[in-house]
Structure 1
Amino acid sequence: MRILLSTIGSRGDVQPMLALAVALRELGREARLCAPPDFRASAENLGIPFTPVGPELRSTAKAAVPVTEVSPEVRRKMIEGTVTAQFEAITEAAEGCDTIVAGGALQVAARSVAERLGLAYSYSSYCPITLPSPYHAPPPTPMERPDGASNRELWDLDAAYFNDLFGAKLNEHRVAVGLPPIDDVRGHMFTGKPLLAADPVLGPWPEPAELEVLQTGAWILPDERPLPPAVEEFLDAGEAPVYFGFGSMRAPDGLAASMIDAARALGRRAILLHGWADLVLPDDAPDCLAIGEVNQQALFGRVAAVVHHGGAGTTTAAARAGAPQVVVPQTYDQRYWAQRVAELGIGAAHAPGAPDADSLTRALAAALRPEVPPRAKSVANEMRGDGAAVAAKLL
């Protein structure tokens, strides 16, 4: 049995697919990955066959204008380009496969490719609020949200937004390969029985709902890499530092300096992740260390707090490590994860608006209150680590 795992997005979209690929291999199944070219080395280092789709994404973290703020015309051209690229790449990658598993809300072409080739198809979300339910609103998009609209009305608007954005190009490709057009892009992608790759403690699915959601737990790729010697030396040289990182996200101007100022205001040392935005330290004082990508699973258990953008993967990693968190959400599902961190009492959600030294200091002080670390440890003990194995068996 060969399974194609297809996604288009940053590390938060790709890492769970790598975890699922490894879990499938442990069951004797062959898994392939179709993802942006930034992640070829990650797949090939694990021995997972890889097909690139679309352009490299790393440059978007330093773009002059965020993707969410480009003009409607530019956005439409980007959408048309990604739909075409997906049809081409997924069709190539799916040769000889039995099943396609699509991950993330931009997987517009995967089900159509599966339909054309006669393959089984499954869809996976990494966050509860990306799936329709009357118990929560959809993630924010550029669509207008009328004041007082119910969750169900907002989901109807969300469906219309998907149709407007993707429908014409998707149907153009479907008709070209002999498939009938569809009138519900989102429902077509998600199916009536999607997988939810999120931890049920951190991101529970609100039953009951219209969809038959199969919540497997988060898909976590085990990481056995040792920390670099420079990181080990820094950790051993004093009290546990605060970790700051925005992963593959864009960073607001002056963010690195504000982060370091916040740590120093509370008498804390700091570790700063360069990330895709290439953040750099404001000075060379010995109380701070800048690092590249490292084993978060090893690092987060040794820091005083994790300050981050609120991606599903980083939020889950910090929660499983029992580290207090400060979530500084920017877009899409990140506000949900910030809310969950605050609701669970395992950290703080940064106030709306651009972060500065004062706002980060306040949020970090809240996350470092004496009652938060034991609560974070308690929640960590309730979380699961077998989500990828559960999903692999279901598939």
Structure 2
Amino acid sequence: MEPQRLLLLVLVVSAFTANAAAAAVQPRDSIEICKQLMAWAGYQFPPKGTLFCPNDHAYEKWARQSGFETFALLWAAVERNPEAWWEYIARLLSYMHSETPVAAANITAQGVALQTRYNAASNASAGGVSYASITLSATGRKDQKLEVHLAADAASSSERNMRDRRTRMRITQADVINSAEGVVHAVSEVPMPPDSYPSIKKAFQKNKGLKRMKRYLRRSLRELYKTGDALKTIIAPIDAAWGPLEAITKKGAAPGAAPWLGQITTTNVRKQRDLQAAIMRYLIIDVKSLGLTQALTWEDMKAAAVAAGRTGKPGFIGVASSLTAGGAAQTMRFTYAPSTGGVYLVGSRNELYSPYMAASLVQTTTIRAGLATIITVEGNVPLPRKTGIAAFDSPSAR
């Protein structure tokens, strides 16, 4: 399945909208939404091989998981920003497709192994494609069972998701299409590729390494969860990254630190809603300010730093956060270090006194949450130079 250019695809948006109401009254196993999405994304239907096509009920469920009451409301968001949604939807459709045709008659109790692929740059192997395996097995019931899990060659995906991303689905109607053109089975779920979730809320719920961020910024995260159409990049310090800040909470600022620099402690963050909100806004990168239509990934950050460098040495890239304080957007910087192969990010407050808190190492696996991306960092919590709260911004504060 090779996607066509987006500019050619927007021509079918009107046709999709016109058919939305008709799809809503189709039987439970109808695959009208799936067929319309394939056309919108520029894919042949049916494609060569096997397509596991979520039924309309599954797409309604996916819309609710994504923060929309109905699929029609989700589609309205797609129409408002088709360029951003196209990559996401195309990635889901790629994940549902295998180039090997398997009809219901060939499914056995021992299982049939297939391979599917998805376009997820943050997990991509050589050639920009990541692979996962599908096992089809007969259950002895009228409906078959479909199990989707990661294959060994998708090793770039995190070990966390080797456990969490085993999606089980039922084939609600086998052989909806069984022809020389391809095989289509209707399934009960919209399967999410590894390290991908339908919403920011679901991503934070499933990733256990972000417990401290959920603890310290819980009120602000609840507000963030309400956004179902979020084109954002969220910087998420893993649990260990909060350690230096917790040490300051217990022992005070490092010797020689600027008097006001050690004023932010985990106790402050946990108890003060305005500080929580300021740090949360700081950890959200303003994607539009970068002139991008897609949320950032690790690969994007590396490529930008390399492109900005001189004589083969990567440069620092400054990016605006969603926090405005002191009359200006608070920024952070990142770079790429060829010697370690790592991308490093540093908050503007962290830069002022590096023995206090230095740069953060960006983890290579980018978590996708709908249109948003969550970039996890280790080492330190990036903090803004100014929070907009006098008690934490005044040089004379003690």
Name the TM tier (shorter chain). Answer: under 0.3
- The structure with the larger Rg is 2
Per residue, is there more strand in 1 or in 2? 2
Per residue, is there more helix in 1 or in 2? 1
TM-score w.r.t. structure 1 length?
Answer: 0.25
